[in-house]
Each structure stands twice: as C-alpha cells, then as structure tokens.
Amino acid sequence: MSELAQLRFRDPARAQSLTATLADRARALGRAEPVSVMHVCGSHEQAIAKFGLRAGFPPELDVIMGPGCPVCVTDVPEVDEAVALAKQGVRVATYGDMLRVPGTSLSLADAHGAGARVEVVYGVAQAVELARTTTDEIVFFASGFETTAVATAAVLLAKPPPNFSILSAHKYIPPVMEIVAEMPGTKIEGFLAAGHAATITGWGVFERFVERHRIPVVVAGFEPLDILAGLVRLVELIGEDTPRVENAFPRCVSREGNLEAQAVLWRVFEPQGGRWRGIAHVPNGNLRLRDEFAQWDARRRFDIDLAPLWDHAPAALVAQCQCGDIMAGIASPHDCGLFGRECTPDNPVGACMVSAEGTCKIWHQYGGHPDLRQIRRRA
Amino acid sequence: MRSCGGTTDAELPLMCLGVPGRVVSVDGDLAQVDFWGVTKPIRLDVVDAPVAPGDYVLNHVGFAIRRIPAEDIEATLALYDELLAKSAPDDLMAADVRNELDAAGKP
C-alpha cells in the first residue's frame, strides 16, 4: 500500500458522501428520539474528534464513547499496587499515559516526584531491554486491552530475564460490552467494535453477544472513511429485524482473527473477574497471568504493602468526578462541572482527563466542543 | 499509549493506527519497518502470516499483528463505494458527490 492508497481512506469527497448516506439512513429509522450507538475505543474518539466527524453526524444519531480507554478503567487498587512497589524501591516501567492516573492518594508521577524510580517506556519489549541492562528489579505495569496483552504475553513466552516481572492491569473488552448493554439507563442500540482488537480476536467473538443482547455490532477501522462506513452499516442493521455482526474493516479483520496471537494470549493469561474503574465489577474482564508464569507475576513475586498509601487523603475533588458515568455512556464531559475548569490535562482530577484515549482529554484537546451540533442546539 | 490501537499524535505521530508500515528488512523475529519515513524495529512474534521486505504490516505497541494483503485494501475501498452506490437516488448531496467522483475519475 502506498501513502497515496492510505490517503484514499481520508478522501474528502467519499467522506462527504458517506456522511450524507449516514444522515439518510438515520432519518429512515423514523425515530422521535435520537438513536444511540457506542464505540469502545479511544482511537475511534480520537479520529472522530480530529477529523471533525461529529459535526456531520445527523441529529437522529448519537455516537457515544464507552469504556474504550484502558488507562481510564485501570482501577484505583491497581494503581496503588504500582505506586506501592515504586515506593518499596522497585523500578516500575510503564506507558506514559499511566503516570498521572490517580490512585487512592498518589499517582506514579507523585511517587516519582518523591524519589521513586519510575520509567516511561514505549512498550513491554523496551521494559525487557531495560531489565537486561541492570540487576535491579524491573516491574512492567501493564495496562491495555487484549491487543496490548498479546505483546505482554509474547515477551513472557520469549523468557525475559529473572529480574523482570509484570503487574497486569490488562482488560478484556467483550465482557464489558455485556455490562454496558445491561446497565440501567443505557439506551445503546448498536456497538462499533474496535478494529485493532478484532484483528486479534476476529469478528466472530461478537456473535454470542449479538445473540444474547439482540444488538448489532459492526467492526470498524480508524480512518475517517472506516468510521463513517461502519456507522452507516450499523444504522442500517439497527433498522433490520435480525441483529448481526458485520465486518467493515476487512483489510485487517477476519472472522477467526489472528489465531497465533490468540494462542499466545490465552497461553499466558486467563480471564478473571475484576473491577473496572468507575464502571462495575466485570466478570472475566481482567487478564491474570496463569500459574505457569508466576515467577514473572509481580503480585506473587513481591509482598506489596499498600498501607503507607492510606496515610494520605485522596484529592477532595475526586468525589465529583464523572468519569464512570461518562465511560458508561450515560453522561458526557459537558455534564461534569469540573470539565475544563478544575479538571484539565495539566491538572487532571480523573483518569479520563489523563489518558490520550480518555473522552475528557480528547474533548479538551479538540477545544472542548467536538460536537458542534450541541452548540447549534444551544444557540 | 496505543492500548486499543490508535493515534496519539502528540507523542509518536508516525506510529498511529491506520498508518501501516512497510517492512524494510527482516532478521528472525525482528523487522525494521518504515512508517512514512521513520524506521522502527517491530517484533514479529505474533504476526498472522510470514512477512518479507515490501509487505505492509499493522503495528501495535511495537508488535506486528497483521500482514495487510494489498488486495484487501482494494476490497475495503470497494465496500465503501458500494455503500455510496446504494445511497438513495433522491439524496441530492450524495448524488452530487458521486458525480464529482465520477468526473474526477477517482478510483
């Protein structure tokens, strides 16, 4: 594929036409209230905001970002574990986005400011390289959905050095879609699934969900045309009697997915119930290292002492943070009194304002009002 | 971070998703991959098919997760055009754009 071929996925004429088609399909549903659909990926929200796609969405359609930010759903006790390890003298390596995610009272950035050794790495492979250059204990604080967990799994299968271990906050997306679909107060009628995760899992993974919840799912990529085409198909499917899964990202996603990557993932991890920050306890929503890999599991390797963290009071504003409702799709950043005032990317109150994949950070980055229709409605 | 696989322009603009890289060279489980002019080492542990120099791969946090066959790119674009073709004929805006596309001879 040439650069030119890639740019064709941003072709303005096609985008304009697909936008018109989307409006046509949404209108054809003939609803009095807007139809709500949810995507579950920060990258979708990034592309929607960056390319201004929302401005062209019809008033009959609400496109909501769900729990698609793995950093944001990393739960407070998981951050506490990383902070405690860092304060115990272990070197903690992690993705840059994780540094300022608040724990009970401290973030990793706070710990670093107080002298703990915290390293930002691009990925897990770089953390392994770091471990090879030292005799210090290196813990990789691993967040991310199944796509990222595959990378973590791959380095463990490649036998990392003995001073390396993993603190897993990895999460698995399909189970949380069930939770959101069943949440009282949600009116989600269709899901736009993340093309990257589906590249690994295959689109077949959503068939059982569709059967159980009678809600259509369309897998979509991240270029503007990918998203628009995915939404057109999703709205069309909502109008049909029989919900099903459709693949609007065929250049990367197949029904069965990347079988080798799945084998690597499930050989190293097993699903386990756990809390997602602000959302709920999600059965099978967390990825835990299997017993066979206990020697690289930071939770089994270290005695993690959380007590010192409770000496500090949590930030007073945290109680007002709406992250959970925003990620569940029942509130928008504009419903939060802190958004853009007390809570900004420089001084974030909640995780959604920390991560590049968080709804609040993305909205703030693109001027706070990526949905121009709201301005129109208010005017 | 690209946990779900997207663009975080502020940090690493060229690693963004939807910008697959072209394989420059392969050495065992490690490839040098060109992302629009920036070459990065990418691991091949979990890629779905054997890759060779010249192939395009989808990258996620430093791991190739998919070799993208050229014919699949065409298939995706064809899918979009099919959606456009299905637009209601009385949709003036869509018709306009279709005409423009035809006039411009865009593929």
Sequence spans of domains, chain A: 71-172+258-307
> Which pLDDT score is estimated for A237?
97
Given a contact cutoff of 8 angstroms between Cβ atoms, the answer to whether A322 and A307 are in contact is no
Using CB atoms, which residue from B60, B73, B88 is nearest to A147?
A: B60
> Which pLDDT score is estimated for A105?
87
**If contacts are CB pairs under 8 Å, which of residues 11-50 in chain B contact chain A?**
11-12, 17-20, 22, 36, 43, 45-48
B65 touches chain A (CB under 8 A): yes
Res B88 pLDDT > 70: no
Res A300 pLDDT > 80: yes
pLDDT band at B98 (very low <50, low <70, confident <90, very high): low
Nearest CA in chain A to B29: A158
* B41-63 mean pLDDT: 91
Using CB atoms, which residue from A6, A20, A41 is nearest to B4?
A: A41
Res A293 pLDDT > 80: yes
Res A310 pLDDT > 80: no
Using CB atoms, which residue from A1, A123, A200 is nearest to B65?
A: A200
Residue for token pair 């050495």: B27
Which of residues B30 and A51 earns the better pLDDT score?
Answer: B30
> Which pLDDT score is estimated for A184?
83
Looking at chain A, the whole-number percentage of residues with pLDDT higher than 90 is 73
CA separation for the pair A62, A144 (Å, rounded) = 26
Q: To the nearest whole angstrom, how far is the Cα of B98 from the nearest Cα of chain A?
A: 7
pLDDT band at B9 (very low <50, low <70, confident <90, very high): very low
Residues of chain B with Cβ-Cβ distance to A8 below 8 Å are 77, 107
Query: What pLDDT digit, counting tens, does each position of A159-204 carry?
Result: 999 999 999 999 999 999 999 999 888 889 999 999 989 999 999 9
CA B63 to chain centre: 15
Mean pLDDT lowest among A125-134, B52-61, B83-92: B83-92
B103 touches chain A (CB under 8 A): no
Question: Per the CB < 8 Å rule, is A20 touching B94?
Answer: yes
Alpha-carbon torsion A340, A344, A345, A346, what sign?
Answer: positive
Query: What pLDDT digit, counting tens, does each position of A246-273 carry?
Result: 999 988 899 999 999 999 999 999 999 9
The predicted model scores a pTM of: 0.85
B77 touches chain A (CB under 8 A): yes
Given a contact cutoff of 8 angstroms between Cβ atoms, the answer to whether A300 and A311 are in contact is no
* A56-79 mean pLDDT: 93
Question: Per the CB < 8 Å rule, is B100 touching A98?
Answer: no
Question: Per the CB < 8 Å rule, is A147 touching B3?
Answer: yes
Residues of chain A with Cβ-Cβ distance to B18 below 8 Å are 6, 9, 47, 221-223, 226
Question: Per the CB < 8 Å rule, is B93 touching A20?
Answer: yes
Mean pLDDT lowest among A54-68, B5-19, B43-57: B5-19
Residues of chain B with Cβ-Cβ distance to A44 below 8 Å are 6
Nearest CA in chain A to B100: A13
Question: Per the CB < 8 Å rule, is A148 touching B61?
Answer: yes
A71-172+258-307: which CATH topology?
Answer: Rossmann fold (3.40.50)
pLDDT band at B75 (very low <50, low <70, confident <90, very high): confident
pLDDT band at A329 (very low <50, low <70, confident <90, very high): confident
Given a contact cutoff of 8 angstroms between Cβ atoms, the answer to whether A30 and A58 are in contact is no
Mean pLDDT lowest among A159-168, A272-281, B98-107: B98-107
Report residue A344: phi and psi, to 5°.
-135, 165
Nearest CA in chain A to B62: A123
Res A4 pLDDT > 70: no
Question: Per the CB < 8 Å rule, is A356 touching B8?
Answer: yes
- CA distance to A76, A333, A334, A347, B59, per residue, from A338 (Å): 20, 9, 9, 11, 36
> Which pLDDT score is estimated for A317?
83
* A101-111 mean pLDDT: 92
> Which pLDDT score is estimated for B100?
52
Using CB atoms, which residue from A21, A233, A250 is nearest to B87?
A: A21
Residues β-bridged to residue A276: A280
